[in-house]
Amino acid sequence: MHTHSTPVPDAVTAQLRIIPRDQHIISRRQISQNALRVLYRLHESGHEAYLVGGAVRDLLVGLVPKDFDIATDATPEQVKALFRNCRLIGRRFRLAHVVFGREIIEVATFRANVDDGSGDREVHDGGRLLRDNVYGTIEDDAVRRDFTANALYYAIADFSVRDYTGGYEDVQNRVMRLIGDPETRYREDPVRMLRAVRLAAKLDFTIEPGTAEPIPRLASLLSEAAPARLFEECLKLFLSGHAVASFEQLERYGLLPALFPESAAALASNRSGALRAIVLAGLASTDARIAAGDPVSPAFLFATLLWPAFCRTWMKLQADGVHAVEAQRRAADRVTLHQLSTVALPRRFSLPMQEIWLLQARFPLRQRKRVTRTLSHPRFRAAFDFLVLRQTASDAHSADVAFWEEAQHDPDNAIALYPGEDEADGEADAPRKRRRRRRAPVAAG
Ligand code: ATP
Ligand code: MG
């Protein structure tokens, strides 16, 4: 795609609506001190300066923004000259970062033309890299953005909100609406489909019908997106406190196969719904942890999201005659490898994810020595939490959960209380095999 040949759709004619200070709810008290400092300094230096994007949108719906982005007519070099604590980043698009300890205020010069911000593709025309990174007016800057709700500007000059795309009304009506022709905008950057779903889930907005309609049709375009970018997008989808809502929206708009093809296939063929119940339980507990301020890990999240794929692959390998233990190891490797082509999960997360899966097979083993080893595994706690999730979908795991609950306090008492199946376990091979084969279907349930 040539961004110079698909500029902002003609239909979009930016028409300014100004919402004065006394007619909107944004107050300076809700804006970070550092962002205010940058806004004022730019303004005092004779530049235009606006808070823009997600922060304005979030403030208008009463949320606390994660970060504060600023748009200005000052060039990056001019911004740099104004702030000692400023560094310029980006190759194709230079941005200024003003650094205040741990808070970074991003300052972007108004840009014209379409950029999806993805860095996914270089823009070539007959092999020539086009330098179409032209600065533009605030109107240009507004209409290149994705959703109307994301294209509002809070002016430090008079504390008004400037609206060039009808975003103010859309925010009031809680609607996600793409700027311009939806299909064109999704083709420019398919990740916008995920952003539509994610922001609707986060903000509890509906997706305007014209914006929603192309998504199921164009979902497969996501295969063009960079897997590393999709990984980042997944973290935002599932580790921002709205994982259940995000998952349900992805299902609804047919986006699940684009992100997790093997899990989507496994979920579709799992008629009992047990796998889906496990995934939803995992996502609900992730949301609950975030609400409680507890830490969450991408490894556990992906162990949850890819569990259906893992179970399905594991069962297939066993059906092909691979021994249960070996089948498990191979399934973990295979699912991890296949997943890389859509959402690139870094190894520092995929290794612990695999450990969480493989530890599941150790939970039925209650021989003293094995119990000690399982308890001392660095991933024990995460794997136990995962076992609890599986129990929500199947009673088959309640004895294991009770045992390991007790074993964490007093392993000997646990063994005495729940002798389990392990007398038969020993080091002997035959009984173990028999038992595993019996347990295998349970894993999928
Ligand atoms: P949040 O930070 O809550 O996830 P956000 O809207 O701030 O949401 P960012 O990724 O931080 O999302 O992007 C900042 C702004 O940049 C957006 O509000 C939007 O105006 C613009 N933007 C981001 N991604 C795109 C895109 N793919 N296409 C067009 N504009 C985009
Ligand atoms: Mg943001």
Which one, of 288, 282, 234, lies nearest residue 391 by Cα? 282
Q: Nearest C-alpha to atom 27 of ligand 1 is from which residue? A: 116
pLDDT at 435 over 50: no
- Distance (Å, whole) CA 133 – CA 111: 7
- CB neighbourhood size of 72 (10 A): 27
pLDDT of residue 245: 97
In 3D, which of 178, 244, 184 has the Cα closest to residue 212? 178
Taking the centre of ligand 2 as the mean of its atom positions, its distance from the CA of residue 281, in whole angstroms, is: 28
Beta bridge partners of 310: none
Domains in the chain: boundaries: 1-173, 260-444
- What does the longest C-alpha to C-alpha distance in the chain come to? 82
Name all residues whose Cβ lies below 6 A of ligand 1. Answer: 53-54, 66, 69, 116-117, 145-146, 150-151, 189, 191-192, 236
- The CB density around residue 270, as the number of other CB atoms within 10 Å, is 18
At residue 372, the pLDDT reads 85
Residue 110 to residues 15, 400, 426, Cα–Cα distance (Å): 17, 59, 70
In the residue annotation, 67 being an active-site residue is answered as yes
Domains 1-173 and 260-444 share a fold: no
Residue in the block written with tokens 């916008």: 192
Q: How confident is the model at residue 92 (pLDDT cuts 50, 70, 90)?
A: confident
**Dist. CA 179–CA 8, nearest whole Å:** 9
For ligand 2, an ion, list residues with CB under 5 A: 54
**H helix or E strand, kind and range, residue 287:** helix 274-291
Q: Which residues pair with 49 in a beta bridge?
A: 72
Ligand 1 pocket mutation pick from 58, 150, 235, 238 by most atoms within 8 angstroms of CB: 150
CATH of domain 260-444: 1.10.3090.10
The predicted model scores a pTM of: 0.87
Q: Give the rounded percent of residues in the chain with a pLDDT score beyond 90.
A: 74
Residue 324 corresponds to which amino acid? A
CA of 103 to the centre of ligand 1 (A): 18
Query: Residues 170-190: pLDDT tens digits?
Result: 999 999 999 999 999 999 999
Could you tell me the pLDDT band of residue 294, with boundaries at 50, 70 and 90? Answer: very high
pLDDT top residue among 168 and 5: 168
| CATH superfamily to which 1-173 belongs | Beta Polymerase, domain 2 (3.30.460.10)
Taking only the tens place, the pLDDT of each residue in 308-358 is 999 999 999 999 999 999 999 999 999 999 999 999 999 999 999 999 999
